Chain A
C-alpha cells in the first residue's frame, strides 16, 4: 500500500514493505519475485550474457548444450544471449510506451474532469471515436503509414493506449472533482495545473497504479504481437516477439526453443496481473464482496 502511516526512514520503509510482502498471498509473492528478477536481468544484461547481442557465433539452429546453453537461432546467434537482451529491449520499450500513455491519457483525463464543459466533451468524443477502431488494426494502419521504427512504435502504441487511460482517469477524477477541497482550491484561485497535480492526482493514485500494471501488460502483449507479425521491433534488435517468429519452424520438428521467448512474455504478464489483482483487493477493500 502507498504511504502506510508515518515512515521515519528507508529502513522502516523496507521493513514495512517486507511485512506486507510476507502477508501477501502466494500468487502476489510469486508475481513480485518474477518482476524483480526480470528487472535485474534487464539491467545487468551485458554482464550475464556470454556473447554480444547480435553476434553470429555458430551455425544455424544448433541444439542445446556445449557453448550454447539454449542453442542458436535461425542466423546462428546465441539463443540465451538474445533472450536476456530481449528482457531489456521488449520490456524496456513496453515500459516507456506505458509511461507515455499515462502522461497523455492520465493528464488528459484529469484535465477533462477538472475543466468540464466543452473541453471535456471534445476530448471524450475524440477518445470515443479512436476507441471504436480495434487497437491492433489501428496500430497496423499507422505503422504502415509512418514506417516501423522504435520511436514510431512507442508513439503509435502510446497514443492509442492513452485513450483507455483517459477513460479511467476521467471516470475516477469526476468523483473527486465535486469534493469540497477542490471547491476551496478553486476559490483560493489555484490554476488548473495545481488542481490537477496536487489536489486530484494524489486522490486517484491507487486505481491509476493498478491500471498502470494492466496497461503495461496490454502494451507489452500488443508490441509482442506486432513484433511477432513482423511489424514491431526490427532486426537485429533482440526481441521476444520476433524471436518466436524467426524460429517458429523448429516447432514442427518438436523443438520447444521458439516457445521460450513466448513463455518469457507470458510469465511476466501473468506475474504483473497477479500483483495488480492483489493490489486491487488491498486498496479497494475486496471489490467482489458486497
Chain B
C-alpha cells in the first residue's frame, strides 16, 4: 500500500509542476510579444496616449513576475481578468461556454467508448481476419480525415438532404436535457467518428500485446476455457491500458471540440477561443488556453493515476 501512496504522491506533484510550467509558458508567451500587448492590440495607428492608457489598464507598467503572480492568484480565485474586446469579466464570459464544451465532450464519450472498446476487443480476438482488415482500413481512413470534412458530410446528409437534425447547434441554459441531446447530435456524432478510430486502434494494440504474453499461453496450455482466460487472466491486466485509452481520448475530445464547435456554431469554449484569437483579445485567449491545457494535463494525470490504481502487481503486494 505504501508503494501506491508514494507513486500517487509522485504523480500528483509532477502534475502540479506541469500545470505550473504550462501557466508560466502561456503567460511568458504573451510577454514575449514584439513591442508589447497593448501596442499589438491597438495596431500601428494608435496614438501613444491610448497605448499608454491600455498599458496601465492591463497592468503592463509593472514588472513581469509581479504581473504573473497577480494573474495566477486571480485565476486561483476564479478571476481571469477583463476582456479587452467587450470589457466584460472573462470568468462570466467563459463559465457557461466551458460547461457546454464539457457537455458535448461527455456526450461524445458516452457514445464512443462502448463502441470503440467492443470493436477493439473484437478486432484483437479475430486479428488478421476479414473483420480486422476491414476495421483497420476504415479506421485508418477516418483518422486521416480532417474533422471539418466529417462534420460537413454529416451536416449535408442529416441536416440538409434528410432534415432530421438542426444544422446549427444553438443551446441555451434553460433547454430540457433531451432537447439539448437532440440539438447536439450532429457535433457529438462527428466527434465520435473521429475518436472511435483512435480508441479502437489503441484498444486493439493493448489487447494483442496482452494476449501474446507467456502467462496467457500458459493458461491456455493448462486447458482453461477461452472465456475464463479472458475474464480471469487477461482482463485484470487489461484494465490499465483500457482506462488509459479512454482517458487520453477524453482529453483529446476536450481539445478536439474546437473545429467541431465552429462548424456547428456551438456556443462552447473552442468557439470563444477562435473568436478571441481573431480579435487578438489576449486576456481571453490566455484564459481559454489555460483552461484547455489544464483540463488536458489533469485528464492525462488521471489516466496515470488510474493506471497505477488498477495495476494488479501493485494491488497485491508480496
Contact = CB atoms under 8 A, between A and B. Distances in A.
A265 B285 contact: no
A263 to B, nearest CB: 7
B258 interface: yes
Contact of B300 (A132, A224, A244): A132
A158 to B, nearest CB: 17
Contact of B262 (A217, A229, A269): A229
A150 interface: no
B137 A266 contact: no
A281 B205 CA distance: 15
Interface string B275-300: 01110101001101100110011001
Contacts of A266: 141, 144-146, 149
A23 B233 CA distance: 40
B156 to A, nearest CB: 5
Interface residues of A, number: 47
Contacts of B30: 145
A266 B128 CA distance: 25
B282 A221 contact: no
Interface stretch (B4-12, B17-25, B48-56, B223-231): B17-25
A137 B292 contact: yes
Nearest to B252: A134
B289 A141 contact: yes
Contacts of A269: 144-146
Interface stretch (A100-108, A190-198, A254-262): A254-262
Interface string A112-152: 00000000000000001110111011101111111000000
Nearest to B209: A290
Contacts of B128: 288
A251 B149 CA distance: 12
Contacts of B40: 145
B145 A140 contact: no
Interface in B84-104: none
Nearest to B278: A230
A12 B152 CA distance: 47
B143 interface: yes
Pairs A-B, 3 closest by C-beta atoms? A269-B144, A262-B149, A290-B212
19 contacts: A27-B137, A132-B21, A133-B293, A134-B293, A137-B273, A144-B277, A144-B280, A145-B30, A225-B147, A225-B258, A228-B148, A229-B274, A241-B148, A252-B160, A258-B152, A266-B141, A266-B145, A269-B145, A270-B141
